[in-house]
Amino acid sequence: MIPTVDEFERRLNGFDPEKEDFVLQIDDLVASLSQDIAASVYEPIFHFFENHPKADCGAPGTLVHHVEEYYPNYVASLRDSVRRAPSYNGVLMINRILNSNISDEERTEYLNTLRSVVSKGTAPEEVRSMTKRFLDRQA
């Protein structure tokens, strides 16, 4: 059992999303979370996404599904993460929220976050391209 967020983060950062067995390793890691911290590990997950911006990590995969179980607790951190360092998974998660039933105000906020990914130009081209496609579908 993983008892602390710090221990979870340490273990998560030891994984390489390009490895063949990454998805299985992540499944085991998340299954090992103590229920006491399960709702609190979204920040390390977002940092992992930022450090591996082009990795799909299962698309959407266990990490995304785990975080989404605790909606809406993580949404401000998700927007901050995508603004700070856009990633495949961060943009994917915002698009998944946009595809749900949210208020017009929330929709505008999420769309502005995606627009910032495209306008900043600091994200990897693959992430910017995906973001443009998501924006085109939302228009």
Q: Is 121 exposed, middle or buried (0-12, 13-18, 19+ CB in 10 A)?
A: exposed
pLDDT digits (tens, 9 = 90+) for 71-110: 999 999 999 999 999 999 999 999 999 999 999 999 999 9
Looking at residue 55, what is its pLDDT?
Answer: 97
Looking at residue 139, what is its pLDDT?
Answer: 79
pLDDT digits (tens, 9 = 90+) for 105-136: 999 999 999 999 999 888 999 999 999 999 99
State how far the Cα of 139 lies from the Cα of 133, in Å rounded to an integer.
10
State how far the Cα of 8 lies from the Cα of 116, in Å rounded to an integer.
30
pLDDT digits (tens, 9 = 90+) for 37-69: 999 999 999 999 999 999 999 989 999 999 999
The reported pTM is 0.96
What value does the mean pLDDT take over residues 3-23? 97
Residue ranges per structural domain of the chain:
5-138
CATH 1.25.40 fits 5-138, yes or no: yes
